[in-house]
């Protein structure tokens, strides 16, 4: 197997290659003055099973096109099989049609990658598992929640309460709880499909006097974490932390979260940010190793 670190995930790709002992094939890339992307493989992929590591956070359309171009270039240059490693899968939140006239955009992304030559995909904590059913090729979903929880255990937070900001994320809090060994629970969150506006309520949580870590798959605008932190602090939590797999942290999200009383934000390098304190390299390299021996 050979590994291509895509332009959006160079550091993570290099770490994975190093940990897995895989030969790296670098990509030369540039953006033309009119905005079009250019890529060129700088090494041979002839007859190789190739893993391309490319996250698709913003600018997601550029990152997706680069991934498609790299996959197509690899196939054109003789790659035997292509595994796309997409730590953050863009458009996974658009996997369903809610209003007439909409498209399930993840399905179009899947078709594009398939046409480009991708044979299988590895992603991490995809927002909705249902999104993977839209892919015509095998799609594996890894979870980084245990890695995030282990980070907190190493820092002395064994026994902290694991909180999911909504019922749908309760499985995430339960995965964290298995490592942290404390309590777990969830808030209630409702979303208005027209405006996108959300409202949160506390329910019957007992977090008084506890250190609480909010676990979520994505932090985007930070609104969910800000709302959750307010409820937790009102209910007597002593300290509140925020942990997520994909720290998109759009605009001033980080500041808003810290201003709401959250002590610290911890994310992974699925999206390279200041908060990316936990690396996915070991998780992904184990998965690639299993594929090589399988």
Q: Which of 121, 219, 245, 280 binds ligand R5P (CB under 6 A)?
A: 219
With a CB cutoff of 8 Å and minimum separation 6, the contacts of 113 are 64, 67, 68, 71, 84, 121, 135
Which of 144, 233, 91 lies closest to 225 in space, CA to CA? 233
By CB under 6 A, tell whether 185 contacts ligand R5P.
no
Host H or E run for residue 83: strand 81-86
Which residue, chain included where needed, has tokens 């820092």?
155
**Beta strand spans in 220-281 (E):** 239-247, 265-268, 276-278
Q: Which of 217, 241, 271, 284 binds ligand R5P (CB under 6 A)?
A: 217
Cβ 272 to ligand R5P, closest distance in Å? 18
Residues that contact ligand R5P, how many (by CB under 6 A) = 11
Q: Which is nearer to ligand R5P, 107 or 217 (CB)?
A: 217
By CB under 6 A, tell whether 169 contacts ligand R5P.
yes
Part in contact with ligand R5P (CB under 6 A); list of ranges 57-65, 101-109, 130-138, 214-222: 214-222
Cβ 27 to ligand R5P, closest distance in Å? 30
3-state secondary structure of 65: helix
Q: Which of 107, 119, 216, 254 binds ligand R5P (CB under 6 A)?
A: 216
Of 189, 208, 263, 291, which is the active-site residue?
A: 189
By CB under 6 A, tell whether 114 contacts ligand R5P.
no
C-alpha distances in angstroms, 175 versus 41, 144, 146, 283? Answer: 39, 10, 6, 15
| 145-154 helix and 170-180 helix, angle to the nearest 10 degrees | 40
Is residue 96 annotated as part of the catalytic site, yes or no?
no
Part in contact with ligand R5P (CB under 6 A); list of ranges 80-88, 137-145, 173-181, 218-226: 218-226
Q: Which is nearer to ligand R5P, 117 or 222 (CB)?
A: 222
Part in contact with ligand R5P (CB under 6 A); list of ranges 105-113, 116-124, 129-137, 220-228: 220-228
Asked whether 63 and 55 are in contact (CB, 8 A), the reply is yes
Which of 222, 220, 265 lies closest to 240 in space, CA to CA? 265
By CB under 6 A, tell whether 7 contacts ligand R5P.
no
By CB under 6 A, tell whether 92 contacts ligand R5P.
no
Q: Which is nearer to ligand R5P, 105 or 221 (CB)?
A: 221
Cβ 223 to ligand R5P, closest distance in Å? 4
By CB under 6 A, tell whether 266 contacts ligand R5P.
no
Give the span between the Cα atoms of 24 and 44, in whole angstroms: 10
Phi first, then psi: what are they for 288, rounded to 5°? -65, -40
Give the span between the Cα atoms of 84 and 6, in whole angstroms: 10
| Catalytic site positions | 189
Residues at the site binding ligand R5P, with contacts judged by CB under 6 A: 165, 169, 216-224
């Amino acid at each position: 197997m050979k590994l291509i670190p895509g332009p959006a995930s160079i550091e993570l790709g290099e770490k994975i290659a190093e940990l897995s002992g895989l030969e790296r094939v670098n990509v030369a890339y540039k953006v033309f003055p009119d905005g079009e992307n250019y890529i060129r493989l700088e090494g041979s992929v002839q007859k190789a099973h190739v893993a391309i590591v490319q996250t698709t956070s913003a600018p997601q359309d550029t990152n997706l096109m680069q991934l498609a171009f790299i996959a197509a270039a690899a196939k054109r240059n003789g790659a035997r099989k292509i595994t796309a490693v997409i730590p953050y899968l863009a458009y996974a939140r658009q996997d369903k049609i809610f209003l007439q006239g909409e498209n399930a955009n993840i399905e179009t992304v899947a078709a594009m990658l398939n046409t480009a030559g991708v044979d299988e995909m590895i992603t991490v904590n995809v927002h909705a598992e249902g999104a993977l059913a839209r892919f015509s090729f095998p799609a594996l979903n890894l979870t980084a929640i245990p890695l995030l929880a282990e980070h907190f255990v190493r820092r002395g937070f064994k026994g902290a309460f694991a909180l999911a900001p909504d019922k749908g994320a309760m499985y995430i809090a339960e995965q964290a709880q298995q490592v942290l060994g404390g309590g777990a629970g969830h808030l209630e969150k409702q979303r208005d499909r027209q405006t996108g506006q959300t409202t949160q309520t506390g329910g019957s949580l007992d977090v008084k006097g506890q250190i609480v870590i909010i676990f979520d798959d994505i932090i985007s605008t930070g609104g969910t974490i800000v709302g959750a932190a307010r409820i937790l602090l009102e209910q007597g939590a002593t300290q509140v932390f925020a942990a997520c797999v994909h720290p998109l942290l759009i605009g001033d999200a980080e500041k808003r979260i810290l201003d709401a009383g959250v002590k610290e934000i911890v994310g992974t390098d699925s999206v390279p940010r200041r908060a990316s304190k936990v690396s996915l390299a070991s998780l992904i390299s184990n998965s690639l190793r299993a594929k090589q021996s399988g």
